Structure 1
Amino acid sequence: MRRLINLAYLLSLGVFLVSCATAERLQKRGDNFLALGEYAEASGQYKRAYNLTSPKDHEKRGFLQYRMAECFRKYGYTARAVGAYKSAARYNYTDTLTYYWEGEMLRKQGDYKGARKAYESQLEITPKHEGSLQGLTSCDISPDIKAAGSAYSVKIEPLFNGSRADYSPAFMGTEADQLYYSTTRSQATGDDYSGITGEMAADIYYSKKDDKGNWTRPEGAEGNLNSEFDEGACQFSADGKTMYLTICRTDADYPRMAEIWTASRSDATWAKPQQLKITSDTLSSYAHPAPSADGRWLYFVSDMPGGFGGLDIWRASLSSKGVGTVENLGPKINTKGDEMFPTTRYNGELYFSSNGKEGLGGLDIFKAVEDTVNKTWIVEHLPAPMNSNGDDFGMTFEGKHNRGYFSSNRSTGGRGWDKIYSFSYPERLTTVKGWVYEQDGYELTTAQVYMVGDDGTNEKVAVLSDGSFEREVKPGVNYVFLAVCNGFLNYQNELKVPEHLTEETQYVLQFPMPSMNIPVLVRNVFYEFDKADLTPESVEALDRLVKLLTQNKHITIELSSHCDYRGEDDYNLALSQRRAESVVNYLTEHGVSADRLQAKGYGEKRPKIVNKKLTETHTFLHTGDTLTLDYVLKLDSAKQEVCNALNRRTEFRVLRTTYGLFDEKGNVNVDAVKADVKNNAALKEEEDKEKAVGKKEEEEKEAEDEVFEYVE
C-alpha cells in the first residue's frame, strides 16, 4: 500500500514538474511572440501557460493574466483585456500599471464609473500618475461631450463592410469617385492568419461610383497590390497616380515592423509596390503614410527614437528627388500615448487619432491647423458623434465638402470590429478668396499673405500663379489679412465672419499693392526764401503726411528735397539737406518715430522726370522728358520758370514696409497686427466724426490728391 502511495505521489510530482516545465516554455514562446509584435500568437501561448500554472501560484498567474491583458489591449480585444486586467489585480499583480490600463479599457467600453474607480486605485499605488489624472478628467467631461452632440451626422455603411474588420478609407484623386480601404474579410489574399490580430492578413479593397453616382460592390484592388502580407492604411497623391500604403511583412526571426511602400497606377491597374525608405533606421516601424494636398510633405507614424511616447506622427519633406528632412510634429500633436492615422485636407488641415489626450475613450479624432509663423499647431477635439468611447480613426473628406468616411469599432453596428462609417456636416463652408496684384494691374505671384485671427489663427499663405489665395474661415472669428511683397507697400484687409451663417459663403478681398519704388511728390510744402524754414502754408500738407504715416505704421521713408539749377551746386545741396531735415523735424514733433525717417537733400542732382499727368497741365512737356539744365535753357523764360518750379520739390519714397512687423526671428508680430486693427478702427471713428460735421469724403479725397502725387 505504501508503495502504491509513493508511486502515485511520484507520478503526480512528475506531472507537476512536466506542467511547470511546459508552462515555462509556453511563457517564453509568448514572450518571443510579444517581442515580435505577434500579439494574437503571444496571448494564446500565455493562456496555455496560465492553464498549466498551479492555482496556488498567484504571482505567476497574475503575471500571465497581465501579459494576456497587454496582448488583448494591443490588438483591440477590449472586453478580454478588461477581464484579464481584473484577474491580474485579483492576484495582487499591481506593481505595474494594471489599474491604469484597466481604467483605459473600461473607459473605452463607456464604463466611466468603473474607469474612475480603476484610475483612483492606480493613484493609490503611483500618486500623481499623469495618465490616471488625465483619465479622471476624461471621465468627468465625457458624459457632457456625448450629451452635447453636434451638427455632425454619422451612419454605418453596410455596402463597404464585411464580416470582419474594414477600416481606414481614403478617396483617390480630386474627383472623389473611388474609395479605397483595408479589410480582413475572408476573401483576402493569402491563407495565413495575422499573428498580430489573429485575423486574415488585410488586403486593400475599393469601390467606385457608377454612371448614376452610386457606389459599386467593393472588390480587391486591381494589379499587383495585394499579397499574403498585411496591406493597410493607404492614401494618395493629389493627382491619384501614386498610392502610399503600409505593409507588414512576416519574418520569423525579426519583429513585425510596419513599412511604408508606394505603388504607381497605370489606368485602373496598380503596379507592384516598392518600399519607400524614410530613414536609415531599420529597427523602427513606419506606417500610415499621408501626403499633403500640396505634395510638400509626407505625414506618417513611427516609434523611432526622438518621439514623445509610443507612436508619434512625423513628417518628411517630399520633392522630385524623393524623401528629404524628417521632423516630429511636436508636443501639441504627440503625447506619451499613441498618435496614428494622419490624414490631410485641401486647406492644409491635419486630422489624426490619439489615445494620449483627453477624450471619450480609445482613439479619438483630432483636427490640427499649423501655425506656420509660430511653428506650432492648434489642436481641436472633434465632438460626438464623430468620436465615441471606442476607437475612431482614418478620416477622409470628399473634396472640399464637409462629408466623407471614417472607421470606428464603436459598440453600435460593428460588434467590436472596425467598420466604415459615413459622416456629414451641414454644408456651410465659409471661405475667403483674395487677389494680390500691383495697384496698376499685374498679379503679384511672389507675395505672401499673413492671416491672423482672434481665435489664435496665425498662418502664412502663399499666393497661386494667378495672384489668388483661398482659405477656410471660421464663424464668429475676426481676421486680419496682411499682404507683403518686396518692392511694394503692405496692404491690409479685415474680415469679420458672422457667428451664424445659413448658407455657404465666400468672401472676396482685393489687395492692390502700390509700388514702393515710385517716389511720391508732396505738394504745397513751402520754405522761406533761400532758407530751410517751413512757411505756415505748409502745415496742411505736412499734417496729411503725418496722417499717412500714422495709418501705415510699418513703412519707413526717405524724405528728399530738391532745388533748381540756379545757385552753386554745393550751396544747393546743403540747402536741400536742411530743408529735408526741417520736414523730418516737423514729422517727429507730431508723433512719427525718428527711426522711420531719413532726410536727404539732392540739390539739383535729380531733376524732375515728366510724367503723363504733367503733360496734361503743361502741354509743351512730353512724357519721359528730364528737366535738366540743358533741357530748361532751350526753353523761353516763361517755360523755364515752370520747369524750375517743378524741379523745386519735396518728395518721399518708401524704404521698408516691415517696420515693427516681425520679431528678431522673422515671425510676424501678432501684437503689432492687433494694434494696427485697433489703430485703424480709431482712425475710422475719427474720420466718421469729421464726416458727421460736414466734411465730405469727396472733398477729403480731392484734398489728398492735391497733396500727394505718385511720380510715374
Structure 2
Amino acid sequence: MLTIWKKAGLLTGSCCLLLSWGRTQFVYDYLKAGDDYYEKADYASAAGYYEKYLYSKGGTGAGYEPYTPQPAVVAHNRKPGNQQKAQWMLAESYRQLRYTEKAENAYRSVHQLYGSAYPLAALRWAQQLRAMGNYSKADSMFALFLKNYTVKDEYAAMAERELASLHFAQEALQKGGAKELHITRQSGLLNSGGAFYAPSWLDANTLLLTSTRLADSAGGMHQNRLYTMQVNGAEAEQLQPWMAAPGSATEQGPATVSADGNSIYFTAWSRQDKAGTAIYNSRKVNGQWSSPVPLLGQVNVQGYSARQPFITPDGRFLYFSSNRLGGEGGFDIWYVSIDDTGRIGTPLNAGKQVNTAYDEQAPYYNQSEGELVFSSNGHIGMGGMDLYSSKGVPGSFEAPVNMGYPVNSVKDDVYFTIRSREQKGWTEAWIASDRAAACCLELFTVSRQWPSPPVAATVVTEDKPRKPDTIHVPAPELPVNGILSNVYYVYGKADLAPGSHASLDSLVQMLKVNTLMIIEISGHTDNIGSDEYNLQLSLSRAQSCIDYIIKKGINPVQLVARGYGAQKPVAPNKNADGSDNPEGRKLNRRTEFTILRR
C-alpha cells in the first residue's frame, strides 16, 4: 500500500512538474515573441507580449489590448535576468511608440529595481519626464545620471545636451512663442485609428501621408502605408491607399512628389530582413503610376538606410536622410543633383552646420526663400526631435535656427511641409508631432498671419471742433528685391568687369544712409555647367560685389553673400522645342539684392 502511495505521489509530482514546465514554456514564448516583434520594429505588438510576460499568470491572454493598462501583478516564476530584460524592453517599446506616460512608468521601475544593471534607465526616465512637462524632476534626473554615469560617451553627451535643451524649452515657453503663428491639431478622419505623419501634397487639395495602422495583409501587425486624402478647408474625406509596397517590401514611408505631379519618390522597407530602408521611384504614365523601382545611382547603399526624400520644386535636387558612411554620425541630411535626363549625381553631405553626431531627418527645402527645414535631436532645442531652418543653397548652409515655440514642443516635432506651391510668404504649413497624443505622431497645421494692409486711423483734436483728420498708418513692408543692372564679370570668373560699379555705388550710398539695414547680394547663373560649378561661381561673384562695397566703407555685418546657381531662373534656358535660348540664359545670368532688414 505504501508503495502504491509512493508511486501515486511520484506520478502526481511528475504531472505538476510537467504543468509547471508547460506554463514556464508558455510564458517564455511571450518573451521570445516580444523580442521577435521588437526586432521587426512592430513595437506595439512587442509591448503587448512583454506585458503578457511580466504580468500574466500563465493564462491565454484572451482579450488583451496593448494600449489598455494591465494590472500590476508581478509574476514570481520568471528568471531574474529575463525579468529585468523584459521590463527594460517594455520601456524601450513604449519609447519607440512615443507612449510617454507608459514609458515614464516603465523606465522608473527599471531604474528603481534594476538601476545598476541598466544605468541608461535614469537617462530615459528623465527624457520622459521632460516630455511630460515635469521640468524640475527631469532636471534632477539628468543631473543624477551625469553624476553616476562616469563613461564619457554619446549618452553622457546626450544628457548634457538634454539639460541645455531643458533650459532652452523653459525659456521659450515662458516667452510664449511667436504671436503670428497658430497651431491646430487635425481632427476627424485624420489622427484617428493609428499614427499619421510625413504629410506632402499631390496637388492643392490632395494630401499624401503615411499612416501606421493594423492591417490584415500584414498578418494583424501594424503596417506603415501611403494614403491619399482630399482636404477641402477643414473637411477631409476617407483615406485611400496609394498602392501596394514594391517587391518584397512590406512597408511604405515618407514620400515626395515632383512639381509637375508625374514623379514620386518614397521610402520602403521590409520587416523580413535587416537591409534597412531604401528610396523608390514611380512615374505617372498615361495617368497611371508605374511599378516602383529602387532609385538608381548611389542614393541606396547596401547595409545602410536612405529615407525621407524631398525633391525641390525645380526638380534639380533630391534631399534625403541616411546613416551611410561619410556623414557626421547617426542619420544626416544629404542631397543629390538630378540633371535634365533624370540622371542621379553623387550624394553630398549637407555639412557640419546642419548635421551633428546624432540624427537629422525629414528634409524640406523652401526654394523660394532659400531655406532648408529639417528635424534634429542633435542641436539645442525644446527636447526630442525639433524643427530647424537653415538659410542657404546646396553646398552652403548657414547655422540652423530652432523654429521655436509653438512650432516645436517638448515632445517630437518632425516633417514640415508647406501647402501652397507659392512658398514665399507661406500662410499654411503642416507638421507631425506627438505633443497632444498618449502615443504616436499626429498631424498639425501651422497658420501664419502676415501684417495687415495699411489701415485708416481717425484722429480728433479737442481744442476746437473741426473735421476729423484721416492719416494712413502703413503696415511693415516685406523685403524688396532688385536686379543690379550693368554688373558684369570676366567670363567664367568672379572678377568684376570694367563698368560694373555704378549700381554697386548706389547700394553703398543706401547703406551709408541706413546703417541698420542688412542686404543680401545673390548671384545667379544660366544652366550651362554642372550644378556644383554654378553654385560656387554664383557665390564667388556675389562675394566679389560685397568685397567692393566693404572697400567703400560699409560695415560687413550689413552684407550677406549667397549663390543660387541656376536654381532661380527668371526666363527659360531652353525654347519650347528643346533648342537653346540664348536670350533667356542672358537674363538668368544676373546679380540681385534683397533687403533683409531695414
Q: Which TM-score applies when normalising by structure 2?
A: 0.67
Aligned to 1:192: 217
Describe the SS at the equivalent of 1:232. strand
| Alpha-carbon separation, structure 2, partners of 1:500 and 1:418 | 43
1:297 aligned onto 2:317: yes
Gap change, CA 1:205 and 1:56, over 3 Å in 2: closer
Are 2:310 and 1:282 equivalent residues in the alignment? no
Distance in 1 between the 2:290 and 2:238 partners?
Answer: 20
SS at structure 2 position matched to 1:119? helix
Please name the residue that 1:249 is paired with.
270
The answer for the alignment partner of 1:426 in structure 2 is 449
Which residue of the partner structure matches residue 158 of structure 2? 131
Shift of 1:192: 3.5
Deviation at 1:508, TM superposition (A): 12
Aligned: 1:92 with 2:109: no
**1:381: Cα distance to partner?**
0.4
Whole-Å Cα distance in 2 between the matches of residues 500 and 679 of structure 1?
11
Contact 2:97 2:439 survives alignment (8 Å) = no
**Aligned ranges 1:125-524 → 2 under 5 Å:** 125-127=148-150, 129-148=156-175, 149-151=177-179, 152-158=181-187, 161-164=190-193, 165-172=195-202, 176-184=204-212, 191-193=216-218, 199-207=222-230, 209=232, 217-220=237-240, 229-251=250-272, 254-255=273-274, 257-265=276-284, 269-277=288-296, 278-279=298-299, 281-319=301-339, 320-346=341-367, 347-370=369-392, 375-397=396-418, 398=420, 399=422, 400-412=424-436, 414-427=437-450, 430-438=478-486, 489=500, 492=504, 493=507
With over 3 angstroms needed to count, the CA separation of the structure-2 counterparts of 1:18 and 1:204, relative to structure 1, is same
The number of equivalent residue pairs is 474
Query: How many angstroms does 1:293 deviate by?
Result: 3.1
Q: Is the alpha carbon distance of 1:422 and 1:360 closer, same or farther for their aligned partners in structure 2, counting shifts above 3 Å?
A: same
Q: Give how far 1:103 is off.
A: 1.6
Pair 90,222 (structure 1): closer, same or farther in 2 beyond 3 Å: closer
- The alpha-carbon deviation at position 126 of structure 1 amounts to 1.5
Q: Deviation of residue 371 (structure 1)?
A: 6.7
Measure, in 2, the Cα distance between the counterparts of 1:256 and 1:141.
Answer: 38
User: For the residues of structure 2 that align with 1:276 and 1:184, how far apart are their CA atoms?
Assistant: 24
- Aligned-partner Cα distance in 2 for 1:217–1:445: 57
* Counterpart in the other structure of 1:612: none
Q: Please give the per-residue CA displacement for 1:429-457, whole angstroms capped at 9, x wherever unaligned.
A: 83442324437xxx999899xxxxxxxxx
TM-fit CA distance, 1:426? 2.6
Q: What is the CA deviation profile of residues 255-281 of structure 1, one whole-angstrom value per residue up to 9, with x for unaligned ones? A: 273221122235765333222144462
Unaligned runs of 5+ in 2: 59-74, 452-476, 524-536, 557-598
Q: Structure 2: which amino acid aligns with 1:395?
A: F
Greater relative contact order, per chain length (Cα 8 Å cut-off, separation 6+): 2
SS in 1 for 2:347: strand
Task: Among all aligned residue pairs of Structure 1 and Structure 2, give the percentage whose two residues are the same amino acid.
Answer: 22
Please report the TM-score for the alignment, with normalisation by the length of structure 1: 0.57
SS of match in other structure, 1:70: helix
Aligned residue in 1 for 2:591: none
Q: 1:280 to 1:339 in 2, by over 3 A?
A: closer
- Does the alignment pair 1:67 with 2:94? no
Do the aligned partners of residues 235 and 446 (structure 1) sit closer, same or farther apart at CA in structure 2, a change above 3 Å counting?
Answer: farther
Distance in 1 (alpha carbons) for counterparts of 2:129 and 2:344: 41
1:508 and 1:348, CA in 2 relative to 1: closer, same or farther beyond 3 A?
Answer: closer
In 2, distance between residues paired with 1:353 and 1:229?
Answer: 26
**Residue 678 of structure 1: aligned partner:** 553
Is the 1:61–1:91 contact (alpha carbons within 8 Å) kept by the matching residues of 2?
A: no
Q: 1:447 and 1:93 mapped to 2: Cα distance? A: 64
SS in 2 for 1:323: coil
Cα 1:162/1:291, change in 2 over 3 Å: same
C-alpha change, 1:59 and 1:117, in structure 2 (3 Å) is farther
User: What is the aligned partner in structure 2 of residue 590 from structure 1?
Assistant: none
Q: 1:48 to 1:157 in 2, by over 3 A?
A: closer
**SS at 1:202's partner residue?**
strand
Distance in 1 of aligned mates of 2:246 and 2:229? 12
Question: Which stretch shifts more, 130-139 or 393-402?
Answer: 393-402
C-alpha separation in 1, matches of 2:159 and 2:545:
37
Residues 229-277 of structure 1: CA distance to partner in whole angstroms, max 9, x if unpaired?
A: 43332212233321221223343xx127322112223576533322214
Change (3 A) 1:133 1:216: closer
Q: In 1, distance between residues paired with 2:300 and 2:520?
A: 47
In 1, the alpha carbon distance for the partners of 2:334 and 2:412 equals 21
Give yes or no for contact 1:301–1:311 (8 Å, CA) kept in 2: yes
Deviation at 1:345, TM superposition (A): 0.8
